[in-house]
Amino acid sequence: MIETGIVFGLTAGLAWGTGDFLGGWNSRKLPSTTVAFWAQATSLLLLGAIVLATRPGWNGAAFGWGLLAGVFTGSGGVSLYRGLATGNASVVAPLSALGAVIPVGAAVVRGEPPEAMAWPGIGLALAGIVLVSIPGEGASFRSAAHMGPILMGLGAALGFGLFFVVVEQGTQTGAPEIVVVLGSRMGAAAFLGASALAGGIQRPGRMLPGLAALGVIELTANGAFALASTRGNLAVISVLSSLYPVVTVALARLFTNERLTPARIGGATMALAGAALISAA
């Protein structure tokens, strides 16, 4: 029987992948920071309503860890957006997906490594994530500005990886997971709001329902990861949650007819095979 932590981890990856696709779709008409801001705002309003209805109780430590996690994921998102804006997605996207390496290392350092049988699956999944993230035109960029995209991709990976670690730390306080998620949404909204204000926030107009749906999906992803963090090994669930590029590529192929290269097909196969090995470990 598959553990609930694995189910929630895969759910987080599915939701994040869907959110990335919809975020890119909406960013064709609005600046990416504006899309992120309105999505965060709507998810925060929804989460606030859930908190008021459920009254989960208060835990300052859990909320504080959530705030810090939100800052990390917000900074990672800004780095990713800025990197993609340079036109070097083939460099930035694969690097950003390597954020899963950080919680794997953290789990080992803390003396909580995955089971021996899970390691081949982790390695296979990480390699597949990188391959599936490389666009069809291949990994090439301007030599005169090659360090900028590299640093932005690594910055995104650092932010996302630390988000995984800090959310897990918050859920270990014993507080309800929703308290950590509330903190993370508020932290991310504050960070992205400040970034968007610096460049100006556009009104979404008729695109607001779509951005609200994006906010719900992002909230689902964060909630699923928080639930997974109390039900499984940090390294395992972080790698499973990082399978989101596979989902994004699949949706792009279905709805935009984006070309699938042999590398992407092979990467998706490797990532899914890795997930299967992890689930069976």
pLDDT digits (tens, 9 = 90+) for 19-33: 878 887 887 788 777
Report pLDDT for 34.
80
- Confidence at residue 90, expressed as pLDDT on a 0 to 100 scale: 60
Q: Where are the domains of the chain?
A: 4-280
Question: What is d(CA 62, CA 184) in angstroms, rounded to the nearest whole number?
Answer: 10
Q: Is residue 1 over pLDDT 60?
A: no
CB neighbour class for 136 (10 Å; exposed up to 12, middle 13-18, buried from 19): exposed
- Say whether pLDDT at 254 is over 70: yes
- 96 or 196, greater pLDDT: 96
| Most confident segment among 37-46, 76-85, 159-168, 205-214 | 159-168
- φ, ψ at 233 (rounded to 5°): -70, 135
* Arithmetic mean of pLDDT over the chain: 82
Choose between 70 and 189: higher pLDDT: 70
Instruction: Grade residue 162 by pLDDT with cuts at 50, 70 and 90.
Output: very high
Least trusted range by pLDDT, from 3-17, 97-111, 247-261: 247-261
Residue 113 DSSP label: P
pLDDT value, residue 125: 86
- The single-letter code of the amino acid at 145 is A
Quick one: pLDDT at residue 146?
A: 59
The full DSSP string for 177-241 is HHHHHHHHHHHHHHHHHHHHHHH-----GGGHHHHHHHHHHHHHHHHHHHHHHTTS-HHHHHHHH
Task: Give alpha helix (H) positions in the chain.
Answer: 4-26, 32-54, 60-85, 89-96, 101-109, 118-133, 147-171, 177-199, 208-229, 234-241, 244-256, 262-280
User: How much is the average pLDDT of 43-60?
Assistant: 89
Report the pLDDT value the prediction gives residue 144, as an integer from 0 to 100. Answer: 47
The first and second tokens of residue 36, run together, are 């992120």
Pick 16 or 143 by higher pLDDT. Answer: 16
Residue 236 has pLDDT above 50, yes or no: yes
pTM of the model: 0.83
Sorting pLDDT into bands at 50, 70 and 90, what band is 166? very high
Does residue 87 surpass a pLDDT of 70? no
